[in-house]
Structure formats: C-alpha cells, structure tokens
Amino acid sequence: MAKTKGKKPAPKKAAPAAKATKTKAAKKAPAKKAPPAPKSAARGKTPPADPGWMDAGKGHALGIRANDDGDLKLVAKKDDKELGSVPKPLKESPVGEKLGAALDFLEEHARTCLHTVETWMLRSLPVPRGVLESVLPDENWSRVLRDAWVVGVAKDGKVDREAGGFFRGVDKHKGIGVVDRDGETTWLDTETVVIPHPVVLDEVDDLRELAIQVGVKQGLSQLFRETFVPPKTPPEDPHSLGTYAGGEFAMLSQAIGLAKRLGYRVSGGASVCRVLENGRYVEARYSLGDGGDPMYETTTGELSWVDDKQRPIPVVDVPAIAFSEGTRMASLIYAKRKIEKEGSDE
C-alpha cells in the first residue's frame, strides 16, 4: 500500500504536458486567423472595371464596340472619357493585343456566318427550321438572316415561290415567322426553307419595292444583289468572256488577297466561284494572271465556266445563277484594278 501511495503523484506529471499542449495550441492560433490575408488582398485588388471595358493602366481602358452598321472596332477611354481614336501604345499593350486578337476572331466569325448563308443561297440548299432556331441567338447569324427572303419547302420537296416572306424568326410551335408580300406578319408551317437567288425570283422588282416600303435592311446581299444575264448570242470566244480581262494590279498577291477577302477561293491562279444549280456543280473561273511570282505585277484574264468534271461550258449554256455569280465575282475584282490618272497637258 505504501508503494502505491508513493506512486500517486505520477499522474499529476501529465498536467504540465497538457498545459504545454494548450500553450502550443495557443501559439498556433494566430496562424489560423484569416483577417490579415483578406486585408492584404484587398489592398492589391483593382477596383471593378466598367462592364465591357478592360483596365489598360494609367487611367486608360479599352473595349470593343459596334457601329451602326454592326462593324466592330477597338475603342479607348481615359478617366471615363471616351477618346476619338486609340493611341498606338495602347494598341500594342498586352490588353490591346488581347482585344485585337478577340476582334480578329469576331470579324472572322462574322465573315463565316455571311459566307455560309450566301452558300445556302448560291446552292439553293434547303435549310431546316432547327438549324435556324439554333443559330439565331448569335448576333452575327441573326444579322445576316434577318429580312432574307425565304420560301417554304413542302414535304414532297416542291417550292412555292409565291408563299414566301422576309425572315423574322422561328417558333417551335408556330413555324417560321415572315413578313409576306402583303406586308403582314405570318407563319410558314414548314420544316425547311430555301433562300432563293434573286435571278430565280419572280417579280423581283416588286419585292425590292416592298422591301423599301416595309423598311427592310438585309444583312445578306440578296434582293439588291447585282445580277447579270447570259448573252443570247455567243461571244467572240464561245467559251469565255473578255469583258473583265486586262485589269492591272501592282502585285499578284494583291489580286489574290482581294479575291479571298471577297469570299472566293483561289486555285491555279484563278478566283473561283462554285454554284450548285439544277442538281449539278458549275464553277466560274476568273484568271488573276499567269501564276508567277506573287510580288510581280499581274493582269487579269478571261472569265470562263467549267462543269463538275472541269469540262468547259459554252457561255450561252451557263445556268443563270452560275453566270450571274461568276460575272459578279469578276466585276468586283476588276473594279479594284490599278487605274492610271490622266495628267494635265501643259
């Protein structure tokens, strides 16, 4: 019993250990306090920027804005006052380059939307209602499609060109909303539509007049698109037109770049426009030169057409849309040729 009593103080030795644990816990407590970190973060935090603007430093901010025509451009402001132009240092800043890249992407996307809808028109492709519904939330698609003259396609594939209208929207239950020939808003109960080329539209002049009356502003060049009619008699060369030959450009690369910006493919030294008409492909080819060094001067050549097997088609036999679009392509490129200014004789 005496030994047992003598050992009783041993448990009391654990008390200092517990105190030591508490002391260590107390020492760690300050490390667990979060207030210092938020205060530090708050000091270095940049005040929230205005929506649509990015801080470019020293009171400057950059953003992207659209003008009345829907074209995008880089804009700048300083101390909340918008500047008339963007200073070069801001354009070359990291923020400026980032927005410049975004601008390039948006412009390319807008061109893709336009060229895609033009392809639907040039190839008379039936466009499903579901496709229209899915792309409309995008402003670029909506801008191109709005007010395009569309015609419903029946289940048997027939197109009633009289039953059409200016495209305004899609409703899952009602159909495709249009403004018809009477200027009334109506719904086309059809699963697909066609965006017809103006050369195949009946009474296109009446439609143009109607478009003006109802205030239509097409994002797609359709009703007011420049059109050309095939000649009734063969030209001097039955397989080509020389109307747009002889257009001079300072460099071949300029002519090629122009053709691509206009949305045309360039192949074998020619600008190419491909059309699907009456179930077959027809390709218009406008020579941009001899295909030499892109840095050398060039002179445009003949405009011709070939079928899907690259066989020449006589000019008088070229289908209406293929002839109109091929001639339009050549005229647009030829219009940008180098023109010598006449000097005054002294």
DSSP strand E in 223-293: where?
Answer: 240-241, 248-249, 265-267, 270-277, 280-287
All structural domains of the chain? 54-113 (no CATH), 124-213 (no CATH), 240-334 (3.30.310)
The pLDDT of 250-263, averaged and rounded, is 94
What is the number of H-type helices and E-type strands within the chain? 10, 17
Distance between CA 300 and CA 228 in Å, rounded? 20
pLDDT at 168: 95
* pLDDT, position 163: 79
pLDDT in tens, 42-58: 444 444 456 778 888 88
| pLDDT at residue 60 in the model | 87
CA distance readout (Å), 340 to 249, 297, 330: 11, 14, 20
Contacts of 24 (CB under 8 A, 6+ apart): none
Write the pLDDT tens digit of every residue in 163-181: 789 999 999 889 999 999 8
- pLDDT of residue 272 exceeding 90, the answer is yes
pLDDT digit string, tens, across residues 114-156 = 999 999 999 889 999 999 999 999 999 999 999 999 999 988 8
d(CA 78, CA 58): 8
Find residue 241's DSSP bridge partners. 303
pTM: predicted TM-score of the whole model, two decimal places = 0.71
User: Percent of the chain having pLDDT more than 90?
Assistant: 51
The reported pLDDT for the residue numbered 69 is: 67
